[in-house]
Copies of this chain bind each other. A is one copy, B any other.
Amino acid sequence: MDISWDDARLFLAIAETGSFSGAARRLRIGQPTVSRRLAALEYAVGATLFRRSADGAALTAAGERLVPPAKKMAEWAGELHRAAESADNSPRGLVRVTGSPYTCFDVLAPFAGHVSRKHPGLRLEVLSTVQYLDLARGEADLALRTRPPTNADLKLVYTLETRNAVFVSKALKAKLPRKPTLQQLPWVAWSPPFEAVTPNPQLESLIPDFKPVFTTDNFLVMVAAAQAGVGAMVLADVRHRFSQDRGLVPLDIDLGPYATGQVHLVCAKSALDIPRVRKVSELLVEELEYTKRR
């Protein structure tokens, strides 16, 4: 028996996406190919690795054991990938930066404009995701995150301390009491399936019987709602070089334990050896530094 390395990758994709078709999409191959190759792999291993059902593929006990080494292979494949990319030593090409929807919208999108003007050879791909992409595996090159990395292969490049504040439209502020409490405010927040995304859990812990007046699964819609005066939302009060006036003003309310936060610039350690990633990282640090001085 000999497991092809590509089959290991296939196996991991199925395990992580939870379905043959999901794995096919991730690997950009056809679903029948996934089906056949996994069948061959299972035959070679002599054990069933997934239970097929109408809602996908679930790992069996035998399959479960294969996941950790396959994940490690994926990490080192990411490392290999970065080592290969360090070869072209000119800061040009595609750099993938990930962040929360808000960060992407507020910071990274205008930053991308700045980058493309200053360095025409560099292209930015901004991946707006709720869940974390795996930087070690190379699912993205750089990330702006609210929590520092736990994985030892990742590097914390820069940290910016931020103040969080409650924002409302000017019109709404005018209608509110001079010093409103958190309970008194109408809130704009996430709808399922994002109930666990900031700031929902925080607001739920601060406000008994938290009931947002407006929910959505799209961050831009949330901002638009706040701008339209529908309700209040919590945002990091970051005034960077690209800050645009969105017609939102901060309220003088104490957010308690959530009054401050951080923005961390994170990447895989070896990613900084890739010239184009290093360049973008430097530009991003420059912007974050600039923010601090204001």
Chain A interface (Cβ within 8 Å of chain B)? 1-6, 8-9, 45-47, 62, 65-66, 68-70, 72-73, 76-77, 79-81, 83-88
Contact = CB atoms under 8 A, between A and B. Distances in A.
A164 B7 CA distance: 48
Given A69-B83, A83-B66, A3 B45 contact: no
Contacts of A66: 80, 83-84
B69 A76 contact: yes
Given A4-B6, A5-B8, A80 B87 contact: no
Nearest to A81: B3
A87 B46 contact: yes
B6 A6 contact: yes
Contacts of A70: 76, 80
6 contacts: A4-B6, A8-B77, A65-B83, A66-B83, A69-B77, A72-B76
Contacts of A3: 77, 80-81, 84
Given A5-B5, A5-B6, A47 B88 contact: yes
> Shortest 3 CB-CB distances between A and B: which pairs?
A5-B5, A69-B80, A47-B87
Given A5-B77, A65-B87, 20 more contacts: A1-B84, A1-B85, A2-B81, A5-B5, A5-B8, A5-B73, A8-B77, A45-B84, A46-B87, A46-B88, A47-B87, A62-B84, A65-B84, A65-B86, A66-B80, A68-B79, A72-B72, A72-B79, A73-B73, A76-B76
A68 B80 CA distance: 8
Contacts of A45: 84, 87
A11 to B, nearest CB: 9
